[in-house]
Chain A
């Protein structure tokens, strides 16, 4: 297994994404990857004064606490073989958030949350040339499967009223379900089995929410992979580029399973990357926002969404 994680923050020291989580239990052949995006609007109120005297927001605290909860939930699941259900994870999140620091805020209202954060993750098990995975999420961070044949395939659907991925890029709507200390929330889950080799990843909207069209996120992944010499190099390239184009804190965790070495992984995705690059450039990408850009976005999304959403459809059947 190869793994990488990428984490950036817009305002140094105050990034509201937690560090992405990647953990693997070799004896059991199972692992977890996850990302956490503290919700800056709903959780803007100060929650904790750090030893350096700086105050961190509820969003900052919430994402860190959620990361701790998922890591301890996974640890318990692999060591004690109990309490590994999504409901148990929700309870763990609730218990830890209740213990976390939080200051009373004079701001009230239905937008406000105490320690709000998203979670998107994948728990996975490998055996006999197959991988079983279970997506777990709350909010608008996402988990994906990346394959040479079908490209980037979402396995989570944002908890927003709008569900069209391109419209989500255009409107950046509020979430309808988010982890927090003071409001009920749920952890949604999907399960599936796929053949190895396989790439799994999770990312916050700092990666996929500031591009022109959903296919651009896959292009970013494959473009950087094609130019990397190893996993560390891939992570470095992703970090450099996302820092350049994103308007938000960004985090991503990724595992590649079933590949003999990095070169085999890189080589496996070369044809897909070249096809994607050529397709996105065909007809010309508009350089400025406007009607031409909207038409280009509509066209590229209409052609791309079939494969992008195929696992969202087929999870009902349980395999693909």
Chain B
């Protein structure tokens, strides 16, 4: 026999799809620019963190879902992009992010669960090996119960589950049949307050990480580098 060690090396690369759900209501104003800047640097930062862990990214796609409140202004309650591949589609990604303004929302709660539903039902990568499907929720507010606000509006997205339990089924759990998320790939990272529904989701759904924020106070207590590290570690 002869040394064949270069043949041993398998696939060390991860295919990462990340959906950023960003609360763009008025109270997020102090932190929104920081979230946007971090998102713009996401590819470089994630690559750097993964290299330190001895791993790399074979494909990085980012999808952004901006949400406000169907109870306040249904016309700007949801804005979203398709999955954009970075760095190839960085200009399109940047253009969308630069256009996000923190405005409206009225009183809490906001329409975060609609954004989470859209994220869960996103067209995730199914072909590449070592897939990671990560949803990252940035919000400082509780969310309306599904089916309670805005359902009758023309701008309300089609296919949104009508209850928390239905949404849980879509997220899935070990052995579940109705899940649309892949059990081995999915992760949910919440930068959200210890209020409903986020508290229950972090506690009851599998494969979650939560950085609790203070309701109505933005996310300013968190360093974005820590957030990036958390996402990288979740891979």
Interface residues of A (CB under 8 A from B): 10-11, 40-41, 44, 106-112, 160-162, 169-174, 176, 210-213, 216, 219-220, 222-223, 226-227, 241, 244-248, 273-274, 277, 285, 289
The closest CB in chain B to the CB of A277 belongs to B1
Complex CA gap A244/B3 in Å reads: 12
CB contact between B7 and one of A160, A210, A227, A285 (< 8 Å): that residue = A285
The interface residues of chain A, by DSSP majority, are classed as: loop
Known contacts A161-B174, A171-B185, A247-B12; A289/B129 CB under 8 A: yes
Q: A173–B8 contact, CB under 8 A? A: no
Q: B207–A220 contact, CB under 8 A? A: no
Chain A contacts of B230 at CB under 8 A? 44, 107
Q: A106–B9 contact, CB under 8 A? A: no
Q: Which of B1-29 contact A (CB under 8 A)?
A: 1-12, 14
Q: B130–A40 contact, CB under 8 A? A: no
In the complex, how many angstroms separate the beta carbon of A56 from the nearest chain B beta carbon? Answer: 15
The closest CB in chain B to the CB of A287 belongs to B7
Q: B52–A107 contact, CB under 8 A? A: no
Q: A247–B55 contact, CB under 8 A? A: yes
The closest CB in chain B to the CB of A289 belongs to B11
Stretch of B87-95, B103-111, B209-217 that contacts chain A:
B209-217
In the complex, how many angstroms separate the beta carbon of A310 from the nearest chain B beta carbon? Answer: 24
- Mask, B195-235, CB within 8 Å of A = 1, is 00000001111111111100000000000000001100111
Complex CA gap A146/B185 in Å reads: 32
Chain A contacts of B61 at CB under 8 A? none
Chain A contacts of B207 at CB under 8 A? 110-111, 174
The closest CB in chain B to the CB of A168 belongs to B184
Chain B contacts of A244 at CB under 8 A? 5-6, 9
Chain A contacts of B209 at CB under 8 A? 107-109, 111-112
14 contacts between A and B (CB under 8 A): A107-B230, A108-B203, A109-B188, A111-B234, A161-B174, A172-B184, A216-B10, A220-B8, A223-B3, A241-B3, A245-B8, A245-B10, A277-B1, A289-B129
Chain A contacts of B129 at CB under 8 A? 170-171, 289
Q: Nearest 6 pairs between A and B by C-beta?
A: A173-B184, A245-B9, A247-B12, A109-B208, A10-B54, A109-B209
